[in-house]
């Protein structure tokens, strides 16, 4: 995993050497420091922008030959549009655009001057921190298994490890530095989730995943691991049925962060993640094409891991529980067969008509366990659950299903702010009829129509009526999602920033 670029902050002072990036608002308009630099260059920067018809529009970039009179190695001008209209996502994307243009070939250090061209474009410490986070996230790459020395570090053809440091020059550098500490904690959580999703399944099975989660104890997270016997003692027949065909034993990992204080009696927020480390489909085996992507079928669990790290690192004042069901779905003589009936922890009997509808089996027991043991004030689960959600929403939105309008609105708002967008789909009694079984309480599939909805209806059977619950189907957004200004990785880390914001805005003391 490449993380070649350190980020620091400094007060505005035009550098003399290295690579320099200046931002220009639409017009184009540049700040006073850039104007002073242009004056030193005899007005060459302004003339170059005019000749190139550079207007400072959002995302536009002008790469200049260094004007006579300056000793810089490279000079870039990046357009921002109108800064006064910027959202959090805009600042993140600006940081991503800037990082994507910095190859480091000109030298190990680059500096960015970030200042508004007018008083109304005032820039706060949080804005600078988000710009820095965008650059940080864009710098991620998973190159752990590459053995060549010239592999790409940023998905943009840049040679890795050349750009060692990015200095962001701004007003109030000290405040920006403080704000970035919190942002970086979240960014590191995103990168942990990305690392886990990108790992091949022969390296990251259920046991290895659980071992990685045990490391969170070093930052104050209490971690417990339940093996097959402990899960059987709890009656988790649904989760265990998924892993029967694998030689790798299933695990249930419970992570607790008590940031509200050791004496606090505040009910926790519980986040549950599907962790199918590899999904062949079991006896209902998948087609060979694209099966390799099923190493990412544990992206829900990866998000929970990244979130718990972020909460602990930034010392979030909340009680939170993260629970992940880790297993591997393989065909074998001992594997669950289509038509088998298993009993979930809740006592519900399930007819398994399709062993490739396994994620809901994992979540059924994990959701019930979370409620029985912790009695949370809110319960959210994430899963790469259905291909049907990609058919319905593409890869721009994750599906949201909820029995609680307030929780649903809170999640949608967090998604709008962070850019990790959600679209709510319905639940209803008529859909519930589609999963009624002739031989058991329910069956694990509901037919071709409304596949994402019937999967959510299945999960709702394992949620108490008075529990505020939401299910996020992240199949289209957590792996092989469209590349963005802040993510060039196959595993996106989707959900970490979303849920951190949900908790920060609604559940922290």
Q: What positions carry a catalytic annotation? A: 286, 360
Question: How does strand 340-343 pair with strand 398-402?
Answer: unpaired
- Kindly give, in sequence order, each residue whose CB lies less than 8 Å from that of residue 278, ignoring residues fewer than 6 positions away: 201, 205, 294, 295, 297, 328, 329, 330
DSSP one-letter code for 303:
H
Rounded Cα distance, 401 and 284, in Å: 26
- Kindly give, in sequence order, each residue whose CB lies less than 8 Å from that of residue 299, ignoring residues fewer than 6 positions away: 193, 197, 382, 384, 474, 478, 479, 491, 494, 495
Which residues lie across from 472 on neighbouring strands? 382, 400
Rounded Cα distance, 278 and 248, in Å: 11
- Kindly give, in sequence order, each residue whose CB lies less than 8 Å from that of residue 393, ignoring residues fewer than 6 positions away: 399, 423, 476
- Under 8 Å between Cβ of 444 and 360: yes
The C-alpha angle 213, 314, 268, rounded to 5 degrees, equals 70
> What one-character-per-residue DSSP string does 138-149 give?
HT-B--TT--ST
Residue whose C-alpha is closest to residue 403's, from 439, 374, 379, 377: 379
Residue whose C-alpha is closest to residue 354's, from 438, 454, 282: 282
Dihedral angle sign, alpha carbons of residues 354, 359, 362, 366: negative
């Amino acid at each position: 995993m490449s993380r070649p670029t350190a980020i620091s902050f400094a007060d505005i002072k035009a550098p003399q050497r290295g690579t320099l990036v200046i931002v220009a608002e639409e017009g184009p308009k540049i700040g006073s420091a850039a104007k002073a630099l242009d004056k030193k260059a005899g007005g060459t920067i302004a003339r170059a922008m005019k000749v190139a018809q550079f207007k400072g529009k959002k995302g536009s970039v002008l790469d200049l030959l260094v004007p006579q009179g300056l000793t810089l190695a490279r000079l870039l001008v990046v357009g921002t549009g109108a800064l006064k209209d910027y959202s959090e996502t805009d600042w993140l994307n600006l940081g991503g655009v800037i990082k994507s243009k910095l190859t480091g070939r000109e030298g190990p250090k680059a500096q960015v001057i970030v200042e508004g061209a007018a008083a109304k474009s005032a820039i706060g410490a949080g804005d600078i921190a988000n710009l820095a986070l965008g650059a940080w996230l864009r710098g991620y790459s998973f190159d752990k298994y590459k053995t060549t020395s010239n592999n790409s570090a940023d998905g943009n053809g840049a040679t890795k490890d050349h750009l060692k440091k990015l200095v962001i020059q701004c007003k109030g550098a000290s405040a920006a530095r403080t704000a970035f500490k919190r942002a970086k904690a979240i960014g590191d959580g995103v990168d942990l989730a990305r690392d886990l999703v990108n790992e091949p399944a022969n390296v990251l099975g259920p046991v290895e995943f659980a071992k990685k989660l045990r490391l969170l104890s070093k930052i104050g997270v209490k971690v417990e691991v339940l093996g097959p016997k402990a899960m059987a003692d709890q009656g988790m027949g649904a989760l265990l049925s998924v892993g029967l065909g694998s030689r790798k034993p299933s695990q249930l990992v419970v992570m607790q962060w008590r940031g509200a204080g050791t004496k606090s009696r505040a009910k926790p927020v519980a986040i549950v993640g599907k962790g199918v480390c590899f999904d062949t489909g079991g006896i209902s085996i998948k087609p060979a094409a694209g099966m390799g992507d099923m190493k990412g079928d544990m992206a829900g669990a990866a998000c929970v891991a990244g979130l718990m790290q972020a909460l602990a690192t930034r010392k979030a004042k909340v009680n939170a529980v993260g629970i992940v069901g880790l297993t591997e779905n393989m065909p074998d003589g001992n594997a669950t067969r289509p038509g088998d009936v298993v009993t979930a922890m809740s006592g519900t009997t399930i007819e398994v008509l399709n062993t490739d509808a396994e994620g809901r089996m994992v979540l059924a027991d994990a959701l019930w366990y979370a409620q029985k043991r912790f009695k949370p004030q809110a319960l959210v689960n994430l899963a790469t659950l259905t291909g049907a959600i990609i058919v319905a929403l593409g890869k721009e939105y994750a599906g949201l299903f909820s029995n609680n309008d307030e929780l649903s609105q809170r999640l949608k708002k967090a998604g709008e702010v962070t850019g990790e967008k959600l679209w709510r789909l319905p639940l209803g009694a008529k859909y519930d009829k589609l999963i009624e079984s002739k031989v058991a309480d329910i069956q694990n599939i509901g037919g071709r129509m409304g596949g994402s909805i019937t999967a959510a209806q299945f999960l709702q059977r394992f949620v108490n009526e008075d529990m505020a619950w939401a299910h996020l189907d992240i199949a289209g957004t957590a792996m092989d999602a469209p590349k963005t200004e802040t993510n060039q990785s196959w595993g996106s880390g989707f959900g970490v920033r979303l849920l951190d914001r949900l908790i920060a805005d609604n559940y922290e003391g």
